[in-house]
Structure 1
């Protein structure tokens, strides 16, 4: 069974909660009328929001914050506000907030100025680096060792953009940058040897590693 190491890549990311920038008043009015808070959760952003197979629903730090938010909204409106969960991906989370399919995304979304043009963000509640996860027996020990290797990142994330940008600048010269559709597929690609290193936030990589049957 493979064991995994985390290789630090020096970009600090700030995680926030995300809501609509243009429909805040209408959103609050709708929540008050319907008694429902429509929330987007990722399925594989451990430890923030993920599906626990034991209970078959979303759990995690951001999920806990969601129910605290619903409680505060209940107090504000003087009525019970229920959480209505929606599954989002890195690719769909911002469009689903922007087009009002959901009221807020509660996960591990990094603030960027580009994203703030279409959605609004809460105060920052978590900082994390962009890092790489590699098998423990991998020859990759430093950033320089990424040269000639196949690197993976999730579509629609700042992590993927960071490694693409730094590769373009010549910080390292990978053989290939592979785009995956989520953290679980990325981790599977790493475990099966389709990629040599998988990149996302350090906190998320720690979650993926600890969930594995042999995380050390």
Structure 2
């Protein structure tokens, strides 16, 4: 009888163990993007061709940039998470019009560029931790010594027609009684030319775009970007498919590890404070206090007030 009891106990234990094991396997069953990558052995990165310095083509027509480097880090984390010996990283071009549809339909798995994470886009996609914070500032000739909004009092400024930036400078002009003459330009190139030729004292736009225009000019050292901003920080993030929590968890862990390490600051400096390919321009855009805070405690929030 004792022997029979033991056998039943062992059988019961084995059955229980098998049940627990099955439950464990079921709990770890892959879904969404992780399953797709595991099944195909490949992950697809969407890149931009001219979003300097985030994602653009170098002199050899190869996609490079700050956001691209971050996406490669995420890809490495996915490969390690899935315990894959090999994983192909495919590259697929996207535009401002196609980036969200291509994420949604599964053509690309990561969108690596300068896409703003906002409440409207959150309805169609999701984002990992923000990798850049832009804000509305102005560029002016350095010898004019213009740094704050108050410094613009009574001057002529330009902004690109139809942008939120021109709306913001008009609002500031009214609220602060600055007495500005505000000129609309048809595009960014025309607006910057007006500062170059002295027709306007300053050009109001996203700071990273201003930095790129100044760095690409004939005399980059002749220009300076205002220290004061006209807007709260607006976050750029790597875009992911909506409602794919397991994949987002891997991407969030990878970006948090990168941003909070010394490597994160070094990566930022590589693209924003040093010469970059293919023309060797230097954006001279060091980290703001908001960016330093974001790297110390990464957030994926679309709310500018968080930053």
TM-score in same-fold range (> 0.5)? yes
The 10-residue stretch of structure 1 (190-199 or 27-36) with the greater mean CA deviation from structure 2: 190-199
Q: CA 1:166/1:210 → structure 2, altered by over 3 Å: closer, same or farther?
A: closer
Larger Rg: 2
* Structure 1 match to 2:260: none
Q: Which of 95, 98, 103 matches 2:101?
A: 95
Instruction: Give distance in 2, aligned partners of 1:134 and 1:102.
Output: 39
Partner-residue secondary structure (3-state), 1:66: helix
Using the size of structure 2 for normalisation, the TM-score is 0.46
Query: By percentage of residues, which structure has more strand?
Result: 1
Q: How far apart in 2 are the matches of 1:189 and 1:90? A: 22
User: Relative contact order: is structure 1 or structure 2 higher (C-alpha 8 Å, sep ≥ 6)?
Assistant: 1
Aligned to 2:130: 124
- Distance verdict in 2 for CA 1:132–1:92, change over 3 Å: farther
State the alpha-carbon separation in 1 of the partners of residues 167 and 87 from structure 2. Answer: 43
How far did 1:68 drift? Answer: 1.5
Q: Which residue of 1 aligns with 2:168?
A: 166
Contact persistence 2:166–2:184 (CA under 8 A): no
Is the aligned partner of 1:69 residue 2:74? yes
Q: Distance in 2 between matches of 1:146 and 1:80?
A: 62
- CA drift of 1:120 comes to 0.4
Number of residues of Structure 1 aligned to a counterpart in Structure 2: 178
Unaligned runs of 5+ in 1: 1-23, 181-185
**In structure 2, what is the Cα distance between the partners aligned to 1:146 and 1:50?**
39
Q: Which runs of 5+ in 2 are unaligned?
A: 1-29, 175-180, 222-307
1:176 to 151, 160, 184: 184
Change (3 A) 1:27 1:145: farther
